[in-house]
């Protein structure tokens, strides 16, 4: 039986949306509408809005995350952002999002180096993994996710082992921005595969690894995923730009967190 001791986490990925001015207002509104002590919340705005959002969220318990980080410490990489530049602006970081794998051809090895940079600077990484539609239809979904984990974490672990602060977001590529969604049971099975893979890679207490679902998450679909004990929250895309959607998603997560706490105490 899965131990019910993991925190519930809802992460908002705003992607390439908002300006610094409207990002600050949106972040403040979301923070005010999602005051739930049992649920961790993180907002990942575009780089240009990080400072504004960090100021807007100061004094709240909502975290700030970056959407990406460069794999090198510093250097001649025009337009890129080093992990050290995020100090004071973000405490979380998305790594390996499917859109960057697709559009920037990011490899597992490169993603692993980004995880190293996060660990060096104290950024808590959210590693994104997931299969394409052709891989799922060929019954290679689990194989794909295992390969992504092994490729990235094999590089990132080095001699230190897997970062104990790691969070993994399972985002089936075919369910992002397509109107399609995975089933809760499918996501739960993949969450178990992710923990088994991390355990096989030497992660202590892999059963405590926080695993999120990401793939066109909305307030109407989140319940199916949170009903699965192996799913610990969500990486929310388009719906995270709406205060009412975020409020409803976090409220549903709070109900789940309370129910899991009661079950654990019992």
- Known catalytic residues? 97, 171
First-to-last C-alpha distance (Å) of the chain: 14
Q: What CA–CA distances, in Å, run from 156 to 44, 106, 201?
A: 22, 15, 11
Contact by Cβ (8 Å): 230, 3: no
* Cα gap 36→57, rounded to integer Å: 15
As given in the structure block, the two tokens for residue 22 are 């409207």
User: Quick one: angle between helices 20-33 and 243-265, nearest 10?
Assistant: 40
DSSP structure class, residue 220: T
Contact by Cβ (8 Å): 210, 232: yes
Strand partners, 63: 42
- Beta strands 62-66 and 8-13, pairing class: unpaired
Strand partners, 8: 39
| Residue bearing tokens 């909305």 | 218
Q: What is the dihedral of CA 132, 134, 135, 136, to 10 degrees?
A: 90
Contact by Cβ (8 Å): 86, 93: yes
């Amino acid at each position: 039986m899965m131990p019910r001791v993991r925190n519930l986490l809802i992460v908002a990925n705003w992607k390439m949306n908002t300006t610094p001015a409207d990002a600050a207002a949106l972040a403040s509104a979301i923070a005010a509408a999602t005051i739930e002590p049992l649920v961790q919340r993180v907002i990942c705005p575009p780089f240009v809005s990080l400072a504004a959002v960090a100021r807007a969220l100061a004094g709240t318990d909502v975290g700030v995350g970056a959407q990406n980080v460069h794999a090198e410490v510093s250097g001649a990489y025009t337009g890129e952002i080093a992990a050290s530049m995020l100090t004071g602006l973000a405490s979380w970081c998305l790594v390996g999002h499917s859109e960057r794998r697709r559009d920037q051809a990011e490899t597992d090895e490169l993603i692993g180096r980004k995880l190293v940079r996060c660990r060096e600077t104290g950024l808590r990484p959210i590693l994104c993994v997931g299969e394409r539609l052709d891989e799922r239809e060929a019954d290679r979904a689990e194989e794909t996710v295992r390969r992504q984990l092994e490729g990235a974490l094999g590089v990132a672990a080095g001699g230190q082992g897997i970062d104990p602060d790691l969070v993994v977001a399972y985002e089936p590529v075919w369910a992002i921005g397509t109107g399609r969604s995975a089933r809760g049971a499918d996501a739960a099975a993949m969450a178990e595969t992710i923990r088994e893979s991390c355990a096989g890679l030497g992660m202590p207490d892999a059963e405590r690894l926080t695993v999120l679902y990401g793939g066109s998450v909305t307030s109407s679909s989140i319940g199916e995923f949170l009903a699965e004990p192996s799913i610990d929250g969500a990486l929310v895309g388009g719906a995270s730009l709406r205060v009412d959607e975020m409020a409803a998603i976090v409220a549903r997560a709070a109900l789940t967190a309370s129910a899991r706490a009661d079950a654990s105490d019992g």
